[in-house]
Structure 1
Amino acid sequence: MPNYCRMHVPGGTYFFTVNLLERRRRLLVEHIDLLREAFRTTRATRPFHLIAISVLPDHLHCVWTLPHGDADNAKRWAQIKGGFSSRLRKRAWESSRRMERRERGIWQRRYWEHLIRDDEDLRRHVDYVHINPVKHGHAVCAADWPHSSFRRWVARGEYPEDWAADAPAITDAGEW
Structure 2
Amino acid sequence: MRYRRAWVPGGTYFFTVTLADRSQPLLTEHIDVLRQSVREVRARHPFIILAMAVMPEHLHAIWQLPEGDSAYSTRWALIKAAFSRALLPSEQISLSRHLKREHGVWQRRYWEHCIRDADDLSRHIDYIHFNPVKHGYAKRPIDWPYSSIHRYVRAGLLPSDWAGETAE
- State the alpha-carbon separation in 1 of the partners of residues 143 and 93 from structure 2: 33
Partners of 1:31 and 1:130 in 2: CA distance: 20
- How far apart are 1:94 and its partner, in Å? 2.8
Give the deviation of 1:83 after TM superposition: 0.7
Aligned to 2:29: 30
Q: Secondary structure at the match of 2:70?
A: coil
Residues 57-88 of structure 1 show CA distances to partners (whole Å, capped at 9, x for unaligned) of 00000001000010111100000000100111
Work out whether residues 50 and 62 of structure 1, in 8 Å CA contact, stay in contact via their aligned partners in 2.
yes
Which residue is equivalent to 1:70?
69
2:141 corresponds to: 142
Which runs of no fewer than 5 residues in structure 1 stay unpaired?
167-176
- Unpaired segments ≥5 residues, structure 2: none
In 1, Cα distance between equivalents of 2:158 and 2:54: 19
Aligned length: 165
TM-score, normalised to structure 2, is: 0.95
**What is the match of residue 108 of structure 2?**
109
Match of 2:7 in 1: 8
Is contact 1:134-1:164 (8 Å) kept? no
CA RMSD of aligned residues (A): 1.1
Runs of 4+ aligned structure 1 residues displaced above 6 Å come to: none
SS across alignment from 2:116: coil
Cα distance in 2 for residues equivalent to 1:57 and 1:92: 16
What percentage of aligned pairs have identical amino acids?
A: 54
